[in-house]
Structure formats: C-alpha cells, structure tokens
Amino acid sequence: MARILAVTSRLPFPPREGHQLRAWHVLRALASRHEVTLLSFQRNDDLADEAAPLHAAMARVETFRIPCERSRAALATAVVRGTMTRTPFLAAKYDSPALRSRLTALAGDADLVHFDMLPLMAHADCVPDGIPVTLNAHNVEHDLLATRARIETRAWARRFLSGQVQRLKAFERAACARADAVLSCSVTDAQALRELAPGCKVHVIANGVDLDANRPSPQAPDPDRLVFVGQMGWFPNRDGVEWFLREVFPRILAQRPTTRFELVGKADGFEIPEAVRANVTLAGFVDDLRPHVHAGSVYVVPLRAGSGTRLKVLEAMALGKAIVTTSVGSEGIVLRHERDALYADDAASFADAVLALLASPSRAAELGVLARQLAEAEYGWDAIGTRLLNAYEPLLTSNVRVPRAHVETLGAIEA
C-alpha cells in the first residue's frame, strides 16, 4: 500500500459538477488500494456537511479556503499577478500560503503527489525532487480558453481572456513537463497535450458513469420534451445553451410548436430569449437529475467549446436516452453517428435531427438502448478505476527516485 497525497481545487464530494465527479471517482479508485491523504480547497458553495463518504474513503482530509473568494484584496492580487507576471489568473487565484505550507510538510513522506486540475500544479514546487507527481487533466485548458476568448462578445472580457491564452499555454506546457504522468479524458486531449509538451507521459483515462445508479426508466418519456443537464456557470454550457435557444430551438418550434426544453442545473442570472421563453423551463439545481432526464424524449448537447469528456452525456447514455450532440459536445466518447446518437454541428442540421427523433419515438428508443449498451461496455467506473491504478503502478513500485532532467521548466509554474 502506497501513501498518496492528493490536492483538489474543491471538495469532490458530494459531486454536483462534472469535474467533481471525475475527481471523486479517481480518488476513490486510488483509495481502494492505497492510503490517500487529501488537501482540498473548499469553495463557498461546497457542501462540507455532506462530505462524510469522502472522509470515510480518505485516510485524512484537510480543507483550505480559496483566498480570492473571501477577500477582494486577494482577488485583486490574483488579477494583478495574472496580468503582470507569467502566472496565469487561473493559477494565481488558487495561491494559498496555508495550503503550500501543509503540502510542503506532507509531501516528503508521500510516495506520490496527485494534483487534480491544472492550476494546482502551481504548487508542484512544494514537492521534493524524486517524488512522482501526477496531473489529472480535465481539459486542455489553453485550448478551452482560446475558444472562449474567440466567442466572447464583451470587448473588455475578450481582451482579458485573449491576453491570458499564451500565459496559460506556457503554464500548461511546463506543468505537463513537470508531471511524471498526466491523465487525460480522451485520445484527442492526449494528443494535444503530447504536442504541447513532447515527451510527457500521457495516459487516457476516460470519464465514467455509475451504471447501477443510472438505469433506463420503464416509463415512456414526454413526447414533446427536450432536456439538457449542466450548470450555466461553466462557459461552454452557457454558450452552447444560448446558441441552442437563439439559433436551433426556434427552428424546432416552427415545425413542432408544442415542444418544450428543460434546462437542469444551476442557472442563476441566465436569460431566456423572449421568442422561446414560453417553451423553456429552468429546473435549477436538483438533488436527483434522473427523473428530469427520464422525462425527456431527446437529450440535447449543443456545446461549441470545451474539451475533456462530458460526464452528463455518459449519464444520459446510461439512462438510455436518445442523444443529439455536436462533435464538440461528445468529444472523447465513442458514440457513432446514426448508430448510438445523432451528430449535428450547425443550427439547421441540429434542429432537423431533433425533429426526426421527436417524430419517431421508436427510433429514439432504439438509439437509447444502443447508448446504454455502449456505456456498459466502455464507461463503467469500476473498469476505468482499474485502468487508472494500472497507469499509476509503475510510479508507485519504482524503488529508485531519479532527479528530473526538466527542472529548468519550473520557473514558469511557480506560484
């Protein structure tokens, strides 16, 4: 049994967002075979009182507040560092002397230090040389930021985001070079990271789904209901839903005016276009999304940005739903067009695909059955956990700690 020290950007349990789900199941897999101590940032909206399963799985859990969430001065400092130094804002906002102190104190006794999400690699200099460091890369972050900057309509925000892209790219390159192993969510992401940092060791560890907790319903869905699950605080979700409501949904309503669209997930401040408002329901955050997804005839994934693998798509597959998605929306998942799902990347094609499934419940049901079968074959968390442990095993069984040859890259990622 090895001693693993893990660092996360927020409490991974209870998992209410996609990156929490991945972080939780990765940690749970590691804890099934090894002793895991977790140092976790705690966001203001994390549910610490409901984290008992996390504490039960880990050998120890210590939490740290994110300074810029609690202090305007700390936020201003992070903005200045993110614009006036090589450190990107995404990393600067997690600067925490308290976390760095504990990481420094504990890392020397660890057999491996696991950083969950890219910005936390700013603290990799706290790990003594020779102790393996791993990075769980949820996305190719600089690509995601570049897409967001390109789509952003507010001039001031576009300037700020555009100015961050190269900083984040350099940071991501150095982080991948610093890590002894990188976990990517998809083959596409893995290739992008290898091109960014040639020589870095990247393992494809796909996201997964709880197949027992997410099963198809025997009840027939509402024949006029579309559903999407995702919180609007994450840019790719908001941009995709805004595009869908602006460009796609009016085309659907023109031919099938009884159609309704339900958005499940935190949507504070989200504005619904007046033209479709009467046919849109904001369910907000729900404790159990399954009844909402079961009620929909078609699960839509209208994303135009992002990387990684959509955990909510995997849940929809496990729930046996017919899916209409963009290429970006299901990137990293081996859904096949017209076999397990329908793909469409422009507004007219997306609307036509949705209308075709609404007009043919039998075809929608067939796609749902095939999507469930694919989830069972490829995306159960137990199988994915085994792949993760196999990827980490060489780092944990090595008896020789060799000093890294790429120490010169650390300057780009020091906090």
Per-residue pLDDT tens over the stretch 103-125: 999 999 999 999 999 999 999 99
Q: Which segments of the chain have a pLDDT < 70? A: 306-309, 398-415
Q: What sign for the dihedral angle of Cα 201, 207, 211, 212?
A: positive
pLDDT of residue 63: 96
In this structure, are 386 and 373 located in the same domain?
no
Question: For 306, left (φ over 0), alpha (ψ -120 to 50), or beta?
Answer: left
Nearest to 313 by CA among 288, 338, 341, 337: 341
In this structure, are 361 and 230 located in the same domain?
yes
pLDDT single digits (tens) 117-174:
999 999 999 999 999 999 999 989 999 899 888 878 899 989 999 999 999 999 999 9
Q: Tell me if 214 is assigned to some domain.
A: no
Nearest to 171 by CA among 100, 101, 115, 110: 115
DSSP for 38-103, please give it.
EEEEE-TT--GGG-HHHHHHSSEEEEEE-HHHH-HHHHHHHHHHHHHSSS-HHHHTT--HHHHHHH
CATH label of the domain that carries residue 320: 3.40.50.2000
For the chain, the domain total comes to 2
Q: Tell me if 116 is assigned to some domain.
A: yes
In single-letter form, the type of residue at position 397 comes to: T
pTM of the model: 0.75
Q: Tell me if 398 is assigned to some domain.
A: yes
In this structure, are 187 and 275 located in the same domain?
no
In this structure, are 153 and 122 located in the same domain?
yes
In this structure, are 88 and 168 located in the same domain?
yes
User: 402, 230 in Cβ contact below 8 A?
Assistant: no
Q: Tell me if 257 is assigned to some domain.
A: yes
Nearest to 20 by CA among 99, 144, 119, 116: 116
pLDDT of residue 406: 39
SS3 label, residue 5: strand
For residue 41, what are the domain limits?
A: 3-208+380-412
In this structure, are 159 and 245 located in the same domain?
no
Q: Tell me if 220 is assigned to some domain.
A: no
In this structure, are 145 and 52 located in the same domain?
yes
Find tokens 């994303």 and name the residue. Answer: 303
pLDDT of residue 410: 38
In this structure, are 323 and 204 located in the same domain?
no
Residue 64 backbone phi and psi in degrees, to 5: -140, 135
Q: Return d(Cα 344, Cα 342) in angstroms, integer.
A: 7
In this structure, are 53 and 193 located in the same domain?
yes
SS3 label, residue 134: strand
Find tokens 């952003």 and name the residue. Answer: 152
CB atoms within 10 A of CB 341: 27
Nearest to 164 by CA among 181, 141, 182, 184: 141
In this structure, are 251 and 370 located in the same domain?
yes
Q: Return d(Cα 300, Cα 112) in angstroms, integer.
A: 40
Burial of 164 (0-12, 13-18, 19+ CB in 10 A): buried
pLDDT single digits (tens) 318-343:
999 999 999 888 877 888 899 999 99
pLDDT of residue 399: 38
Q: Tell me if 216 is assigned to some domain.
A: no
Q: What sign for the dihedral angle of Cα 353, 354, 360, 361?
A: positive
In this structure, are 335 and 361 located in the same domain?
yes
In this structure, are 149 and 270 located in the same domain?
no
Structure tokens at 296: 């929909």
Q: Which residues of 397-408 are buried (b: 16+ CB within 10 A; e: fewer)?
A: eeeeeeeeeeee
Chain-centroid distance of CA 174 in Å reads 21
User: 1, 33 in Cβ contact below 8 A?
Assistant: yes
pLDDT of residue 309: 54
